Amino acid sequence: MYKKTVLATLSAALLLPAHAQQQKRTVLEAQVYGTQQEMVYFDCLQTPMVKAEFHNNPGEDFHYAFTTDFSPMVMLVNGKTQVLMNSGDSLHVVVRYEGNKRNVQWSGSERTVAANRLAQEVSNVCRRLNYKTQLLSCAALGITPKARIDSARLMLAEVGRLADKYKGKADPQLVAYIQAVQEASAWMSMIEYPPMYEEIRHQPISEQGIGDYWTLMDGVSLRDDDAAMSCPDYGAMLIRYSLYAQEREARKAGKGYERPGKLEGIFNAVKATYTGRQREFALYTLLCNFIRNGKEVERALPLYKEYKEAFHPQKVYTDVLDQLLQ
């Protein structure tokens, strides 16, 4: 066994702004067994500026050191194995593919290792509850909105129980990230799934057995902590919630409402719904997703200009958007 340090370490550092290069260095090492892929890829869910690739040899130790303003973050090994990290962490991961299964072991920063074990336990809970990640899959399988919402609430209770189990052992910011991911899924189940089910399965929301659709989110407190504001799933949920909230308020006022379907209308809905960090992150997520789609990118340019000039977003967000627009 020998170690390979990717040259992308240097190139990634050169892509980053000067102030980021002075931050703590983050190190991810991985060994991958049982895959037929010629390459091993590291990608960061939060930013395209952190990535590496290696020629694959079983037993080889792939070493990648980098800096980034995003913390917490999720590093992906070959697109599927998620590794939770904070800036400054050092983590070693062994991934073994055994048929259709993956076995993952972590070592390194103790509280980060514990957080990844917590994330694995949460994944096990979702499998036990048959809790699908994609709502379209739920609709295709005929899972009713009531069943989905009940499962979402049960899943959140289980995640809370597991978070208590790992209290004092797992890094609290990474625990908060795990909770943000699952909360985003639960809130999307309440906001998005009933109308989706109505459209696909032709069952009116009023007949779905979920009670008043417009009160499902009553009592929910939306996050604005560092973990949630680094979580793409949470940003997507904030975007969808802004449309739900606007329609709810229109109905209360006895007004009609036509949900915006284009970038410009959604941008306006988001900026009217939120303030502060939630607005900054939701708009960033919206622009990121649109630009990544690669179609009519020029439509994002005036909105990006407004975003920068009116809301003065963090440099970590504008760095990514600038990179995507290159």
- Looking at residue 9, which CATH number applies to its domain? 2.60.40
Same domain membership, residue 268 and residue 175: no
Same domain membership, residue 161 and residue 103: no
Same domain membership, residue 121 and residue 100: no
Other Cβ atoms within 10 Å of 194 Cβ, number = 23
Same domain membership, residue 58 and residue 121: no
Q: How far is CA 168 from CA 126, 158, 160, 172, in A?
A: 24, 18, 14, 8
Q: Is the pLDDT of residue 20 over 50?
A: no
Same domain membership, residue 27 and residue 98: yes
User: What are the residues whose beta carbons fall under 8 Å from the beta carbon of 160, sequence distance 6 or more?
Assistant: 179
CB-based contact 234:187 (threshold 8 Å): no
Same domain membership, residue 146 and residue 89: no
CB-based contact 29:93 (threshold 8 Å): yes
Other Cβ atoms within 10 Å of 32 Cβ, number = 23
Of the residues 68, 85, 108, which one is the last residue of a structural domain? Answer: 108
Name which of 138, 119, 216, 219 is nearest 177 in CA terms: 119
Name which of 5, 87, 76, 79 is nearest 44 in CA terms: 76
Same domain membership, residue 237 and residue 153: no
Q: Which domain holds residue 178?
A: 117-215
Spatial separation of the C-alpha atoms in residues 299 and 88, rounded to whole Å: 37
Query: Which pLDDT band holds residue 13 (cuts at 50, 70, 90)?
Result: very low
Of the residues 181, 215, 249, which one is the last residue of a structural domain? Answer: 215
Please give the average per-residue pLDDT across 145-151, as a whole number: 98
Query: Which pLDDT band holds residue 41 (cuts at 50, 70, 90)?
Result: very high
Other Cβ atoms within 10 Å of 274 Cβ, number = 21
Same domain membership, residue 256 and residue 238: yes
pLDDT at 17: 37
Of the residues 108, 137, 157, which one is the last residue of a structural domain? Answer: 108
Same domain membership, residue 324 and residue 232: yes
Same domain membership, residue 88 and residue 37: yes
Instruction: State how many domains the chain has.
Output: 3
3-state class (DSSP) for residue 144: coil
Amino acid letter, residue 189: S
Q: What is the pTM of this model?
A: 0.91
Same domain membership, residue 236 and residue 206: no
Q: What is the mean pLDDT of the chain?
A: 92
Spatial separation of the C-alpha atoms in residues 58 and 36, rounded to whole Å: 10
Please give the average per-residue pLDDT across 240-269, as a whole number: 96
Beta bridge partners of 41: 53
Spatial separation of the C-alpha atoms in residues 25 and 64, rounded to whole Å: 10
Percent of the chain with pLDDT over 70: 93
Please give the structure tokens belonging to residue 104: 């993952």
Same domain membership, residue 240 and residue 194: no
Q: Is the pLDDT of residue 2 over 50?
A: no
Spatial separation of the C-alpha atoms in residues 112 and 172, rounded to whole Å: 9
